[in-house]
Structure 1
Amino acid sequence: MNDDPRAEVFQLQAEFCKSLADPKRLMIIHELRDGEKSVGELAERLGLKQSNTSQHLAVLRKAGVIAPRREGNTILYSLTDPMIGQACDIVRDFIAGQLRSKQTLAGVI
């Protein structure tokens, strides 16, 4: 057993990150940065089936990444906090920088 009081926080962080660890979910988060969207809108924009999109939304909702809002017969989804989109941007920018470095290095060799 780990006696480090931070262990529980790191466990929760790992579970949160696991919910993001899918390219389609990251694409959904990217789309929701511009505002709330329905399952149908997300599916169409991302070229996914509605059922598949709904499954990904359920994972993100369970993790607290997104929240639903009913408007008539439509459920609209939005990010629970803009920091989620910003965090994903930071990671993507880091990866893009690594790729540029590798390409530059490959051009030198």
Structure 2
Amino acid sequence: MPGLQRPLYQMKADFFKTLGHPVRVRALELLSQREYGVAEMLDEIGIEAANLSQQLSILRRAGLVTARREGLSVTYAITSPEVAELLAVARAILIGVVADQVEALEQPA
């Protein structure tokens, strides 16, 4: 299998590149709460359908979301709870970074 010949750090870098788009991150945040249909996600994210479909396709190819067709609509879900945990950890890290930056700005010059 070609994917297993790559070093783990390269696979991790590719994984984080997949997360490197605001629409993909927002879609994963929504899907961390529950399953969503594409139309519902469009209302929440506020972009064109073609753009959202493209971003969801990238997430699906990366194995982060699954798609289920129901008639004319498609419903998406995250593939594992670890995706939601990763987003929560990223949020905690960013809150800490921002708090440190605010604290540094509040120090007398």
TM-score, length of structure 2 as denominator length: 0.88
Report the counterpart of residue 25 of structure 1 in structure 2. Answer: 24
Provide structure 2 residue ranges, at least 5 long, that are not aligned to the other structure.
Answer: none
Q: Please show how residues 52-91 of structure 1 align to structure 2 within 5 Å.
A: 52-91=51-90
Structure 1 segments of 4 or more deviating over 4 A?
none
Deviations 1:76-108 (A, max 9, x none): 000000111110110121011111111011111
Aligned pair count reads 105
Question: 1:79 and 1:103 mapped to 2: Cα distance?
Answer: 34
1:106–1:6 distance in 2 versus 1, CA, 3 Å: farther
Partner of 2:45: 46
Name structure 1 gaps, 5 residues minimum: none
Percent identity for Structure 1 against Structure 2? 28
Displacement of 1:13 in angstroms is 1.4
Q: CA deviation at 1:75?
A: 1.0
Quote the residue 2:33 is aligned against: 34
